[in-house]
Structure 1
Amino acid sequence: MGTWDVGPFDNDTAADFGGDLDEVAAGEREGIVRSALTRVIDTAAYLEAPESEVAVAATALVAAQCPGGEPADRIYGPEEPLPDLTGLRDLALQALDRIMTEPSELMDLWAESDGGPWRANIRRLQNVLLPQPSEEQLSLI
């Protein structure tokens, strides 16, 4: 696993995914992000690390467009503009839940090292992707 840090694009697989998004037509980018998320969600058996790494990067792209989201990695993330991905929030949350559920190679690999910062990044993505309460709901609190 070519990993150099704990961020969503801090590994070879995710960096390649960012480059792949740049190489396809603009109209295909949302479908590629959606496919990366659903591939992980639909895996009931052992979830391999490369699929998870791509899905984490895809969730970071969705989260970057949500309130409180951080911009995608400027070096390894896609350079070309992305369509509105906020409609994929629920899929992104489901993908992260699956990655953090056994059997998951990526989760196991981070458990073998100091995975605390990586897990903190996953939680940060989950928090950004969670639906925010409406003004009406806040006024009831």
Structure 2
Amino acid sequence: MSNGTMPSSYSPPQTPKELIERWNKRARESQFGHYYVSSKLHSKNLYLGLSIIIITSLNGIANLLSDPPKELTITLGALSLVATFLTSLQTFFKYEERSIQHRTAGAKYGCTRRTMEQVLSFPTPPTQQQADEIRECLDALSADSPNVSKSELAKALQGE
């Protein structure tokens, strides 16, 4: 499977119901993966932001000293460089923006899952039109959603 081929046990779905059930499973996995990545990115943004606030606050307080020792001045200069570096990382990696994108994708996958669950809950089998509408929705979602790596998806599904 790691070489990009399908597992030998794969068999295509035989009915619209089976097809939608498989899509529902994959949508669930995508939903969990996006929520997991969103949470990780939000935490990274929070840690960086709090670190920057603490460092710059310490610098501000120390600048109020009338005659700081030379060691403190050197330390504060180094901390200013660290704060600048952390701010640059926060800007470059766009953690919060990416977190929101993943959270939005997760919510959209959840919405699509509820649609599939609703279709599957009725005693009549799904129609071709319902399957087409769900496929179009999933196609649009996958095209508009950021990627979730295999390792992040595996971690997300472990924590179910």
Same fold (TM over 0.5): no
More helix by share: 2
TM-score normalised by length of structure 1: 0.28
Which structure has more relative contact order (CA 8 Å, sep 6+)? It is 2
TM-score normalised by length of structure 2: 0.26
Larger radius of gyration: 2
